[in-house]
Amino acid sequence: MSYQGKILRVNLATKEIKTEELSQDLAKMYIGGRGLGTKIFSDEVDPKVDALSSENKLIFATGALTSTIAPTGGRYMVITKSPLSGTIASSNSGGFFGHKLKSTGHDVLIFEDKAEIACYLYIDEEKVELRDATHLWGKDSHETTDILMEEVGEKTAKVACIGPSGENLSFISGIMNDKNRAAGRSGVGAVMGSKMLKAIIVSGKHKTIIDDQTAFRDAVKKKVKILKENGITGQGLPALGTKVLDNIINSIGAYPTRNFQKAQFESVDEVSGEALVEKGYLIKNVACYACPIACGRLVQLPQGKTGEGPEYEPGWAFGALCEVSDLNTISQANFMCNELGLDSISAGVTIATAMELYDKGYIKKEELDKGPELNFGNAEAILYYIRKMALKEGIGAKLALGSYRLAESYGHPEVSMTVKKMEIPAYDPRGVQGHGLGYATNNRGGCHVRCYMISPEVLGAPEKLDPQSLEGKPEWVKIFQDLTAVIDSSGLCLFTSFALGAPDYAELLNNATGFDYTVDEMMQAGERIWNLERQFNLKAGLTVDDDTLPKRLLEDPIPSGPNKGHVHRLGELLPHYYEIRGWSKNGIPSDEKLKELSL
């Protein structure tokens, strides 16, 4: 059935650990991963809970295809309430941890309450133990991983942990696994830190049982062939990683620069994916479990240090957004975020916000306590303030809460480029109208991976759309949002969707699970997940007013470049989006829609 059939529940206060049976009916309705974790979480947690209180729960959920040979079948989700946005958070990560977690014989891991002292959880197929982690508190994610691997003495074990930023309850902290993979967004690391849970180490050998081995193996071969023959997944991403996008997005005039004050970066050639290769930084590609794409980058800096990244988003955030063109500094910043456990997107955007606040005189020089000036283009400031925000030292205590709260504390929240208080990534919505609608309606805030409209609007997959046209965009956004919920719940990587379509995912799921999804039924499961998240957020207190973009993007035209004069036309798109979703004018799912989705 491709599920292990078990949920592991751990109470950190009482140290009670118990195993529960996974309902197959629930699995079919919500697939796994994001969907199943969201269903369990929304059933058990009050939407109005304080995200950092002991009443919040932290769920690790593997997908229906996690730990199978399905291409990219190694991903897992972390579901909780976000301290950053107040929304439901479900943060996705790759690497090998998800595969190993499912190999312990569990599909879902639920943490409840809060430990009295720092602890970590050890799981293999025979035992589950909470162990003392006081010796790990204060260690970065790489040190923590190395120490735990030595302690357990199992070379195939995998570790997920928080760094100092999660311990210090930074709202932009993530959970790191395999050292350099991250469940990065929404502040999930702070929730883990609030529970005094430093790490999870998994070492299992349980096989994932496939319903129809022959049909599944044949389907996987077909999908891998499609991925390898595709120009994006077979050529662009393997050659240049996600930083293949730098020159592409810059050339169309949608590459946010100087904290979204401009949409093109004059020095893009110095920091692009091509530059990473030409300057000799790239050592080799790195692949996650069962991944034929291998978009990860193992790099070595001029001073000799090696590590992974930067990928497109952090490369842009520490580069163009801060007007820094030093690839060495950008790469170091990425390394630091991985080690300290910071969301590299939110960290970079928050520093760029601080730079604009400083540039306009809202942050005073004396507040920097002899630290580097927060000028745009100041590479030294990036490395200095990353550490300050992770440790919550000086002005870093404000930075650690994300760009919205930082800007709000100076009376200028409009300087923060966020949706639902979460930082927007590396695509200017004024240049890509459908993608901007996806940002505004996203269930977890400023997120690009829940509705990657860059695929049709820029890359032409599955077909090329005019990025400035509004025609049909709400329909496209809904489809992409629902399909992404399916992919996240399956345990696969979003990048497969550059080449695969809904029928491909249905075939893989049916052969692995024994379910009999039609494409429409599978897509309805994605729609069910999206609406369940929406319900949670509404009950948490979010309203139609939160489905918006920063004022700058709605009112200030792009000043130069191919998209000169454009703003985002959200007001024209949002009503139709609500209509096709079956929601009221206030963005509330109708009774008919909820009944249709069995919610």
What residue ranges in 143-292 does DSSP mark as E strands? Answer: 158-161, 175-177, 181-183, 197-203, 282-286
Whole-angstrom Cα Rg for the chain: 22
CA 532, 537, 543, 544 torsion-angle sign: negative
Kindly report whether the peptide bond that precedes residue 71 is cis, defined as omega within 30 degrees of 0: no
Q: In sequence order, what are the residues at sequence separation of 6 or more whose Cβ sits closer than 8 angstroms to the Cβ of residue 56?
A: 45, 49, 50, 80, 81, 191, 194
Q: Which helix (H) or strand (E) holds 149?
A: helix 141-152
User: Rounded to an integer, what distance in angstroms lies between the CA atom of residue 539 and that of residue 368?
Assistant: 40
Question: Domains (ranges, CATH) in the chain?
Answer: 6-203 (3.60.9.10), 231-422 (1.10.569.10), 429-498+518-596 (1.10.599.10)
**Cβ–Cβ under 8 Å, residues 202 and 157:** yes
According to DSSP, residue 210 is labeled P
Residuewise pLDDT in 10s, the chain (599 residues): 899 999 999 999 999 999 999 999 999 999 999 999 999 999 999 999 999 999 999 999 999 999 999 999 999 999 999 999 999 999 999 999 999 999 999 999 999 999 999 999 999 988 999 999 999 999 999 999 999 999 999 899 999 999 999 999 999 999 999 999 999 999 999 999 999 999 999 998 999 999 999 999 999 999 999 999 999 999 999 999 999 999 999 999 999 999 999 999 999 999 999 999 999 999 999 999 999 999 999 999 999 999 999 999 999 999 999 999 999 999 999 999 999 999 999 999 999 999 999 999 999 999 999 999 999 999 999 999 999 999 999 999 999 999 999 999 999 999 999 999 999 999 999 999 999 999 999 999 999 999 999 999 999 999 999 999 999 999 999 999 999 999 999 999 999 999 999 999 999 999 999 999 999 999 999 999 999 999 999 999 999 999 999 999 999 999 999 999 999 999 999 999 999 999 999 999 999 999 999 99
Measure the CA–CA gap between 336 and 343, rounded to whole angstroms: 10
Q: Model's pTM, two decimal places?
A: 0.98
Q: Are 333 and 309 in contact (CB under 8 A)?
A: no
For residue 21, give the H/E element and its range: strand 17-21
